[in-house]
Structure 1
Amino acid sequence: MRVVRIRGQLVLFHVLTLSQYLSAREDQTAISPQNCSLRCVLQGGPDCEYCRINREEVEINHGVTTFGGCIPLPCSFFMVGQDSVCKHYTHAPRDITIEFLADQNPEYDNIIVSWKPSVYGIGFLRGFQVLLQALGGSHTACQLFLFQSNISLSASHAQRVYQSDPFYNLDLGSRYVVTVMALPAPVPEDSKDFYSRKDFSTQTCPKKNGLDHCKTDWYPKYTDVQQIGPDIIVTFNLAPPLLGIDRYFSKCYGDGLKDYTIKPDVTRNRTHSSYHLEGLKAGSNYTCEIAADQTDAVRKVFNVQVKGHKRETPLPLATWLPVAAALAVLLLILLLAVSSRKMCSHWIKRKEVFEAHPVSSGNDESVSPITRVTPPRLLICYCSDDGPAHVRAVMQLATFLQQYMATQVFLDKWDSLRLAEDGVLGWHCRRIQESDFVLVICSRGLRRALGKSEGGTSTAVIALIGEELGRAKATGRDISKYMAAKFEYSEEEDIPLELGFVSRYTLTRDLPLLFSHIHQVALYSPGAYLQIEHITQEGSAKQPAWAALEWSIHEAGMALSNHQESSGGEQDLCDARVGV
């Protein structure tokens, strides 16, 4: 009798365990929206447990709250006669995930958003609202989902996964933010606890379609350099015919800048082509790059070492070689005696520039990336609306660039006399024309200034840079003169749309990349890499100037954070609604 009782308990235990497992599996299965009408939701029909609500189906009445283009109806609209329920609201959803859908369109991405409800206040949950916004763009999409009016969820339903409808035609390689809001929302809306946000990026074109199907991302992967006598021949792989690329360009930096235009003959070879590097000096090292002749094309970087070559000399001429050598030595001594002062002065100037920015390579070869005696001229533009701490960080950056990155910096704070003579806008116009590079420090204050009808000098300067970039893009000219940067406390959306096509950097993390851009050198090459003293993590610990720059950026971030907290929650909630 006792054995039978034990067996019955074991069977009951297994049945309960299996039921719990099946219940958990059921809760983890994503619940998709149903295609039902608003009337079915209000009447509480059995086929309307979780419904999508089309905007055209909702009649907008007085007092309806809008949120980013969606129309979440007030709680009293669904819970007639149950005012006590409408006094509560559930907390923000959790575990937001983004799933990319497989499709045949190579230009866009499609996604589905999933989430779980919060256990707090789940008994009063009436539905969800999902808002999708493009960071730095105008794309906005919204979906509204409601439960039937007589449903009441329990704490166990917090493990359920709910899905949105698909969001279609999202641009590849773009940043988006999705906001999932629990309904009913608090009235007044003085809390962030009822919504959750998640930033994500869509797939890049190469990741979705493969590199050979992306014109703007394609670059030659294969390069082979051969020297036959004095001739330097470079062979590279051509772009697939479907991309329609028929011209290429190449540049070499070393003993000056060498430009090459390449027009392959595809009738002879459809996969590879070769071209000659002319005008390179024997015994010199060059950093070269090759890319499709397209705007903002990705460039393939490679190194070229030109070796000396010997020419065969006729036998009778060999008897004159000792005499020629002696004459050459005498001539060399004479030239050295005459021009010693000029040469010393010249090399002293070069020594001062190189000592201001020593460079060491990752292998034993001596690589000197700076090939110009005069440093490049850099104009720094910024907005002072973020406060004095932000301005101090900009000035500390300018000091560091000029002292340790061999760069001549133009900053309005350093040129007050000329600024008074020309005026603020006139000074910026002249410095933009005189500078080799223009670096715009992007911040929240700059973004807000551009959003005002009267943005002042910052708006005028950005508009001027935008016009210059527009003309360069229209004529196919290089736009590498202009760069955008942000400190670590700023966001990607702080970068203006006018600078959407220029190179962007986060400081101080990307200082080596900024150095590479300004001095036009490659940080990496086959078997070697450049380590620039003072601006790498290894060398920065020894420099007080680096610590001062890091500390000024930290102070500016703390000051900006304290200012936002003291401004109250209403502005942050407004920002969350409009996606600022």
Structure 2
Amino acid sequence: MWKAALVFCYLLALGWPLWAQEDVTDAAITPQDCSMDCIRQGGPGCEYCRITQADVKGALGFKPINRFGSCIPWPCFDLLGEDPELCQHYVQAPNDVKVEFVQEANPKSDTIVVSWKPSHYGIAFLRGFQVSLQALGGSTNACQLFLFHRNLSLPASHAHKVYKSDPFPGLSLGSQYAVTVMALPVPEEWKSFYHSKIFSTRSCAEKNGLEQCKKDWYPKQIKVEQEGTAVTVTFNLAPPNLGIRSYFSLCYANGMKKYTDITPNSPKNKTHHSFQLEDLQEGTNYTCEIAANEVDAVRRTFNVQVLHIKKGGTSPLSVTPSLALLIPVCLAVVAMLIVCLAALTRRKPKLHMKKLNIKPDVITQDEESGTQGEVVALPGKRPSPPRLLMCYSSNDGPAHIRAVMQLGAFIQQHMATQVCMDLWDSLGVAGEGSMAWYCRQIQQSDFILVVCSQGLNIKSKSPKLEDETDDTEADTWLDLRPNNFSSDVAVQLVGEEVGQAKARGQDLFKYMSVIFEHSTETDIPTELRLVSHYTLTRDLPLLFSHLHNVALHRPGGYLKISNISEEGFKKLPAGAALQQAIHEAGAEMRSKKRHPVEVEEETQKRQLILAETSAI
């Protein structure tokens, strides 16, 4: 029983200092005006005193440099008296340094007050604080010195007290500063006697409001109207008190930029102005910026979509009597030929269906009720086919890379698209560097397609060879994957581009993601789920529709292209090769899950096949 009572008393003794600390209030302590005699003699009312330049000059006989304020190298030794033991103890750096903004009338500058808490290590020997403020990249702006009187000895409970500095006025808006709070005394052999904090002053808009700031102002109201190939943009003008007289607009798309100077001079409308963007290409989405013609002015982004203009038809031809007689005859002949061809083509499927025991009435009923196909022309007159950059993961083995290459070959051959891949431009990648090559392709491509797979969730690692003496296999592995790491990093770059475009409110039509049929949607990274994603080969028509901006379905018709239909693409050599490559990639992925050890041996056997495919 007495042991339990002893333990209880021991715990009670340990907890007593904590209870004592909780009783201390957190009221902030502000500096006082004190005389140097009061500080040295330790009189009442001198607990926390500000030291001015006049005090330093009176005590030492010289005035410190203005930019250092009242700070001097050894304030404790020089100002508190002749006792050397008073200033030889170690005091640790303050804690919880904070910067607070103070309201002031000057709209062009900011004022702050610094607060902190003393450390409980060496607090009994604490003699004061020295607070300095420095602009990043410049010299010290100001320094303030605060001292306790020489007879004061603070208890550990005062480590919860908050001490404050005097205001630091006249700080430039939108600038970075470093504030340092130093505990006194400062023995030469110690290092952890100060605490620094970097902060930024408020911007002009944060302090005064957007309508009072020249550099931070930007148009909030933008209206875009299209008339033919000319686009009219209307925006609100800056307030007259800012003195902004000119503006500019910058539009860019497909590597092209168009700069427009704007100088409003209309005496009628002083709140809004309209200007025209001319010579824009039809069927192109532009990203435009507008801002005041000032240094470092904030830019407002908006999008402009130039629609296709239907050109008027030619004047009707004059029909002569002979031509009027020939037209009905020609139409009749064409109608007879169409009927004959329809009868022949209709008879062959019926004979074939009789052999397969298929009831033709069911298909006939479906054909009569179905939507009729129509011929749809690709929109616009592109000077060149759309440019598509393909990115992929190199962590899924050679079968997956071969499937990606076959997909690129099929898209380029049968979907009227120019495909860019690092495996097809090894010389360019080696000349520019992989990252520079990818960055340039991302900027210049009309579309970016990311082939998603399980390997996107695997961090790239340098290939480690188990047998270092097998130089032949090592060289083969390195040659087969020359852009192993750059391709994975490129996928991350595309993800960042998508996130930034989404944050700026831009159109994400440029970006796409696809998975093969053996993959799942969980293989698509989170940031790429914001863009359109397709499953191949099932969604080949949807991919074609995205690349060429054509509708799959219209009133009374639908888009039908035999080369990219679900059954038609298999009849093409490139389509059959794509289907076989996807099947092998799926088989390799399933075998990895069942036999991960045997897969490595199978991978080495397929390295030569991948090398031949890369050469092609």
Q: TM-score, normalised by structure 2?
A: 0.50
1:226 corresponding residue in structure 2? 225
Mark the CA change 1:269 to 1:317 in structure 2 (over 3 Å): closer, same or farther.
farther
Question: Which letter maps to 1:298?
Answer: V
Cα shift at 1:310: 3.8
Distance 2:277 2:315 in 1: 32
Mark the CA change 1:318 to 1:52 in structure 2 (over 3 Å): closer, same or farther.
farther
Cα shift at 1:267: 2.0
Aligned residue runs from structure 1 range 279-318, under 5 A: 279-310=279-310, 316=316
What secondary structure sits across from 2:436 in the alignment? Answer: helix
Aligned residue runs from structure 1 range 50-129, under 5 A: 50-59=48-57, 69=68, 70-73=71-74, 75-77=76-78, 80=81, 82-129=83-130
Question: Which letter maps to 2:144?
Answer: Q
Q: TM-score, normalised by structure 1?
A: 0.52
1:179 corresponding residue in structure 2? 180
Distance 1:266 1:38 in 2: 67
What secondary structure sits across from 2:281 in the alignment? Answer: coil
- Whether the aligned pair in 1 keeps the contact of 2:130 and 2:181 (CA below 8 Å) is yes
Mark the CA change 1:407 to 1:170 in structure 2 (over 3 Å): closer, same or farther.
farther
Distance 2:41 2:186 in 1: 22
- Whether the aligned pair in 2 keeps the contact of 1:523 and 1:529 (CA below 8 Å) is no
Q: Does 1:404 align with 2:431?
A: no
2:269 corresponding residue in structure 1? 269
Cα shift at 1:20: 8.3
Q: Does 1:31 align with 2:29?
A: yes
Cα shift at 1:47: 2.7
RMSD: 4.7
Aligned residue runs from structure 1 range 432-447, under 5 A: none
Distance 1:71 1:513 in 2: 54
Distance 2:493 2:109 in 1: 33
- Whether the aligned pair in 1 keeps the contact of 2:39 and 2:80 (CA below 8 Å) is no
Mark the CA change 1:21 to 1:120 in structure 2 (over 3 Å): closer, same or farther.
closer
- Whether the aligned pair in 1 keeps the contact of 2:230 and 2:280 (CA below 8 Å) is no
Distance 1:71 1:214 in 2: 39
What secondary structure sits across from 2:302 in the alignment? Answer: strand
Question: Which letter maps to 2:226?
Answer: Q
What secondary structure sits across from 2:163 in the alignment? Answer: strand
Distance 1:294 1:273 in 2: 18
Structure of larger gyration radius: 2
Distance 1:97 1:297 in 2: 31
Distance 1:51 1:281 in 2: 72
- Whether the aligned pair in 2 keeps the contact of 1:252 and 1:287 (CA below 8 Å) is yes
- Whether the aligned pair in 2 keeps the contact of 1:97 and 1:115 (CA below 8 Å) is yes
Distance 1:289 1:357 in 2: 32
Cα shift at 1:284: 2.3
What secondary structure sits across from 1:405 in the alignment? Answer: helix
State the aligned residue count: 356
Distance 2:509 2:96 in 1: 41
- Whether the aligned pair in 2 keeps the contact of 1:89 and 1:185 (CA below 8 Å) is yes
Distance 2:319 2:166 in 1: 90
2:357 corresponding residue in structure 1? none
1:424 corresponding residue in structure 2? none
1:47 corresponding residue in structure 2? 45
2:199 corresponding residue in structure 1? 200
Aligned residue runs from structure 1 range 163-562, under 5 A: 163-188=164-189, 190-192=190-192, 194-254=193-253, 256-310=256-310, 316=316, 354-355=389-390, 399-406=433-440, 524-526=504-506, 528=508
Distance 2:21 2:159 in 1: 16
Distance 1:139 1:77 in 2: 22
What secondary structure sits across from 1:181 in the alignment? Answer: strand
Distance 1:146 1:75 in 2: 8
2:155 corresponding residue in structure 1? 154
Cα shift at 1:162: 1.0
What secondary structure sits across from 2:178 in the alignment? Answer: strand
- Whether the aligned pair in 1 keeps the contact of 2:230 and 2:278 (CA below 8 Å) is yes
- Whether the aligned pair in 1 keeps the contact of 2:229 and 2:278 (CA below 8 Å) is no
- Whether the aligned pair in 2 keeps the contact of 1:72 and 1:183 (CA below 8 Å) is no
Unaligned runs of 5+ in 2: 1-18, 321-380, 394-417, 421-429, 443-488, 514-524, 529-616
- Whether the aligned pair in 2 keeps the contact of 1:216 and 1:296 (CA below 8 Å) is yes
1:132 corresponding residue in structure 2? 133
Q: Deviations over 1:126-152 (max 9, x none)?
A: 110001111122352100000111212
Question: Which letter maps to 1:212?
Answer: E
- Whether the aligned pair in 2 keeps the contact of 1:72 and 1:129 (CA below 8 Å) is no
Mark the CA change 1:95 to 1:83 in structure 2 (over 3 Å): closer, same or farther.
same
Question: Which letter maps to 2:52?
Answer: N
- Among the aligned pairs, what percent are the same residue? 47
Cα shift at 1:154: 1.2
Mark the CA change 1:71 to 1:319 in structure 2 (over 3 Å): closer, same or farther.
farther
**Runs of 4+ in structure 1 over 6 Å off:** 19-22, 510-516, 520-523
Cα shift at 1:39: 2.5
Distance 1:182 1:405 in 2: 50
- Whether the aligned pair in 2 keeps the contact of 1:212 and 1:218 (CA below 8 Å) is yes
Distance 2:204 2:94 in 1: 31
Cα shift at 1:22: 11
Q: Deviations over 1:532-578 (max 9, x none)?
A: 99xx9958xxxxxxxxxxxxxxxxxxxxxxxxxxxxxxxxxxxxxxx
Mark the CA change 1:246 to 1:521 in structure 2 (over 3 Å): closer, same or farther.
farther
1:327 corresponding residue in structure 2? none
- Whether the aligned pair in 2 keeps the contact of 1:177 and 1:199 (CA below 8 Å) is yes
